[in-house]
Amino acid sequence: MNHARARRLHAFSLVELMTVLFIATIVLAIVMPDMRALIRHYQLNAAVNDLAGAIAMTRTQAMARGQRVMLAPADPGGADWSLGWVAFVDRDGDRRPGAADELISMHGPVGKGIVVSALFTSQNLPDYLAYNSAGRSCSATSSAAARWGTLSLFQGGQTRRIKINMLGRARVCDPVRDGANCAGEEAEP
């Protein structure tokens, strides 16, 4: 009988169990929005780092090969960077990767809800970044003509930018943290 009574003393009552579940539900309801914001933050940073890495690789490949190398949106229309991007040597001069071109690398779509907007010195579509053999940003038709601009990535009220200067150097910035040094499109397109 002592053994049965001891077992009853260590068990939880239904009221205690319901109280614990109620408190756990409240804690989860408070924490979940913060978790979603944290996940979006990391998704946006991953997309920015992937795109910045592709820009650096494109520049490096242009210098290593001694010829112009391009980075363009994977979107068939050449406008939507959110669908991914392609690095290639544009042998046929159409600013789009094709059968005649040498494909260097490809990247698939960025995370769900991330919008990528490009603003360059020349807004003619299809969009692209090109680097000459000296590692300088250039136009698709002339290695001597400089082309620079900004790629802005937006997600859930957050913005990150990749700024490409006249020399072709890219830097990542956050307009909230960096202010005027990180100018670009102010809102999602």
The contacts of residue 26 (CB under 8 Å, 6+ apart) are none
The answer to whether residue 187 sits within a structural domain is no
Q: How far apart are CA 67 and CA 86, in angstroms?
A: 17
Q: Which domain holds residue 157?
A: 35-182
pLDDT, residue 4, reads 54
Closest-CA residue to 50 (of 133, 96, 109): 109
Distances (CA, A) of 189 to 94, 118, 174, 185, 186: 26, 10, 18, 8, 9
The answer to whether residue 67 sits within a structural domain is yes
The number of domains in the chain is: 1
The answer to whether residue 29 sits within a structural domain is no
The answer to whether residue 82 sits within a structural domain is yes
Q: How far apart are CA 167 and CA 147, in angstroms?
A: 9
The answer to whether residue 8 sits within a structural domain is no
pLDDT, residue 5, reads 54
pLDDT, residue 66, reads 95
Task: Retrieve residue 170's tokens.
Answer: 């890219």
Closest-CA residue to 141 (of 120, 169, 122, 155): 122
Mean pLDDT across the chain = 87
pLDDT, residue 65, reads 95
The answer to whether residue 169 sits within a structural domain is yes
Tens of pLDDT, residues 2-48: 555 555 556 778 888 888 888 888 887 776 667 778 888 899 999 99
pLDDT, residue 83, reads 95
Q: How far apart are CA 101 and CA 117, in angstroms?
A: 25
**Residue 114's domain is classified under what CATH number?**
3.55.40.10
Tens of pLDDT, residues 141-182: 888 888 889 999 999 889 999 999 988 999 999 998 998 888
Closest-CA residue to 184 (of 106, 136, 116): 116
